[in-house]
Structure 1
Amino acid sequence: MSFEGRLSVSNSHPFLIEAEELLSDHTSHLIIDARSEEHYSAGHIPGAIHFCAYDQFVRSTSPIGLSRFQRSMAETYSKIGVDPHKPVVVYEEKTGMRAARDCWMIQYMGHPNVRILHGGVEAWRQKNGALDTEPISLDSTIFDCIARDDIIISARDILGHLATPTTTVLDVRTYEEYTGSGGSSCCPRQGRLPGAHWLEWTNLLGKDGRFKTSEDLRRILQEHHISTEHPVITYCHRGARSAVAYYALKMAGCHEVRNYIGSWHEWAIRNDLPIESGR
């Protein structure tokens, strides 16, 4: 597909913004650079602040756990200057898990207008966008959480879906993580959620660092026997790779998608939750 075709496709999705659009009006957006501090210091989009919630795990998706996390993130977003009345754009080097998780997180917290820079700062450079090395900090704001319960799911609620044949639980980690032959050392158990389908998140992105087209995504889902007509629950280790999958499934036309933000990090530490392993 031509670039113009890719552009028109992405513009039909409210969670993506193209470099051209941001270039034309970047001063009206709060821009968040989710890369490392080293990369930010080497050159960032003018006006962008440096922040990433990648290392902030959701350790419990119980009502109390989510309430604590919401309070913590509302305080954090207030401190860094996230204004609920100003559009937010999050980016990294290309389209990836860090920007997707932050975008999903801010959306979950109730911000009505947050998008991922499609193709990341690489797309910005390709359109001759300027870079700045001056660090940016903003005045604090008041960011109150209005949680989006329609885009998240808890461990308790997943248990109720495991026996539901019309709900797909989608593991987007590596095959080694999925089978339990590998995984993060912080997790006391390795394996997957019972009955989970496997589709590694990297298959949803093109070599150009952008989401594949909606048509290609639908084809990939069909090949993996995932219906766009039925609910899908995405998970990974910390809800980052699964955030990429969440948005890719939205692009493919899935009617109901929820990101399990606690993901394997929470599931593995709870011995009361069932797991599977092996092929």
Structure 2
Amino acid sequence: MPSPLISAAALRAASPAPLLLDCSFDLADPGAGERAYDAGHLPGAVYVHLDRDLSGTKTGTNGRHPLPAREAAAAWMFSLGIAPGRPVVVYDRQNGMFAARAWWLLRWLGHADVALLDGGLATWVAADGPLETERPVPQPVAPYRVNPPAMPTIDVTALQAGLAGLRVIDARAPERYRGEVEPLDAAAGHIPGAVNRFFQHNLLPDGRFKPAEQLREEYAALLQGQAASRTVMQCGSGVTACHDVLAMEAAGLGTPVLYPGSWSEWSADPSRPVAVGD
């Protein structure tokens, strides 16, 4: 499996040049990422919005960032000019927090040639990469066959029924996992049996991912021998959990299962069990 990460140096040298997607976002200010994009982005990059492009319709019980319908997501992919064999690189200004969702979504749609810019915009600037403010005009492609989902997911019913046999990893900040604070969702705490792996712990101080060997050692301690196929990644709304999915792939540990609804869906039903503390 090719690495899900690409360095700034490798991106500058890439030929043909990949399609770039700027996924910058701010949960507290949904317009901030697009304003930052307009102030300066990688040359040729197209802006994609977490709510508009990378999420589906909310019902009040399916989480804050549910997956879009596959037909709608495929139409979005075609509208950007993403065709088979077209390399894509995603990035953001938030240590991959939102770019990882775009990486996962494209992989889910069957587009394998996608990587995340390791270190995001900051590492590009540090490598003297240029920025521009002009918005490119995407060149849509004709729709092509979208294969069945290429990334594994689990729904809330199957997760609740199978908790005893699954390893659940929660990517939220430790204080939210423990239930000490809950700024966004219906209840504080975590899914019973889940262990915590804050997505920021995948990173070095400069925002790049830790070396594969270090990630492999750290995740092995969490997995305790459980296979990737029996490991479920979740977070608040299925976004930063994709960061942990990517980290496991970067570590060579395989592709874990994503619970897209995550805590925002789980906690919306007061009949579901809740755990607090470590």
Q: What TM-score results when the alignment is normalised by the length of structure 2?
A: 0.83
Q: CA offset at residue 87 of structure 1?
A: 1.1
SS in 1 for 2:21: strand
Aligned to 1:119: 119
Aligned to 1:190: 188
- The 1:46–1:73 alpha-carbon spacing in structure 2 relative to 1, beyond 3 Å, is same
Q: CA offset at residue 235 of structure 1?
A: 0.5
Distance 1:172 1:94 in 2: 15
- Indicate yes or no: 2:114 matched with 1:108: no
Aligned to 1:215: 213
- The 1:102–1:170 alpha-carbon spacing in structure 2 relative to 1, beyond 3 Å, is same
Distance 1:263 1:211 in 2: 23
- The 1:159–1:59 alpha-carbon spacing in structure 2 relative to 1, beyond 3 Å, is farther
SS in 2 for 1:278: coil
Distance 1:86 1:191 in 2: 42
SS in 1 for 2:89: strand
Q: Is the 8 A contact 2:67 2:260 kept in 1?
A: no
Q: CA offset at residue 215 of structure 1?
A: 1.8
Q: Is the 8 A contact 2:57 2:68 kept in 1?
A: no
Aligned to 2:156: 155
- Indicate yes or no: 2:23 matched with 1:34: yes
Q: Is the 8 A contact 1:33 1:40 kept in 2?
A: yes
Per-residue CA deviations over 1:24-62 (Å, capped at 9, x if unaligned) read 236531110112112211211111111133562575899
- The 1:271–1:145 alpha-carbon spacing in structure 2 relative to 1, beyond 3 Å, is farther
- The 1:72–1:254 alpha-carbon spacing in structure 2 relative to 1, beyond 3 Å, is same
Distance 2:68 2:92 in 1: 27
Q: CA offset at residue 270 of structure 1?
A: 2.9
Aligned to 1:52: 49
Give the CA RMSD over aligned residues: 2.7
Distance 1:129 1:236 in 2: 32
Distance 1:59 1:68 in 2: 10
SS in 2 for 1:203: helix
Q: Residue 260 of structure 2 aligns to which amino acid in structure 1?
A: I
Distance 1:188 1:134 in 2: 41
| Structure 2: unaligned runs, 5 residues or longer | 25-32
SS in 2 for 1:38: helix
- The 1:49–1:119 alpha-carbon spacing in structure 2 relative to 1, beyond 3 Å, is same
- The 1:137–1:228 alpha-carbon spacing in structure 2 relative to 1, beyond 3 Å, is farther
- The 1:274–1:204 alpha-carbon spacing in structure 2 relative to 1, beyond 3 Å, is same
- Whose helix fraction is larger, Structure 1's or Structure 2's? 1
What percentage of aligned pairs have identical amino acids? 29
Q: Residue 249 of structure 1 aligns to which amino acid in structure 2?
A: M
Q: Residue 31 of structure 1 aligns to which amino acid in structure 2?
A: L
Q: Is the 8 A contact 2:109 2:150 kept in 1?
A: no
Aligned length: 262
SS in 2 for 1:86: coil
Q: Residue 16 of structure 1 aligns to which amino acid in structure 2?
A: L
SS in 2 for 1:28: coil
Aligned to 1:89: 89
Q: What TM-score results when the alignment is normalised by the length of structure 1?
A: 0.82
Q: Is the 8 A contact 1:30 1:48 kept in 2?
A: yes
- Indicate yes or no: 2:257 matched with 1:258: yes
* 103-112 or 264-273, which deviates more: 264-273
SS in 1 for 2:50: coil
Distance 2:51 2:210 in 1: 23
* 203-212 or 37-46, which deviates more: 37-46
Q: Residue 250 of structure 2 aligns to which amino acid in structure 1?
A: M
Q: Residue 247 of structure 2 aligns to which amino acid in structure 1?
A: A
Aligned to 2:267: 268
Q: CA offset at residue 114 of structure 1?
A: 0.9
Q: Residue 47 of structure 1 aligns to which amino acid in structure 2?
A: G
Q: CA offset at residue 122 of structure 1?
A: 1.9
Q: Is the 8 A contact 2:216 2:251 kept in 1?
A: yes
Q: CA offset at residue 100 of structure 1?
A: 0.6
Q: CA offset at residue 121 of structure 1?
A: 1.9
- The 1:67–1:178 alpha-carbon spacing in structure 2 relative to 1, beyond 3 Å, is closer
Q: Residue 51 of structure 1 aligns to which amino acid in structure 2?
A: V
Per-residue CA deviations over 1:167-188 (Å, capped at 9, x if unaligned) read 3100111122212232243x22
Aligned to 2:175: 176
Q: Is the 8 A contact 1:19 1:127 kept in 2?
A: yes
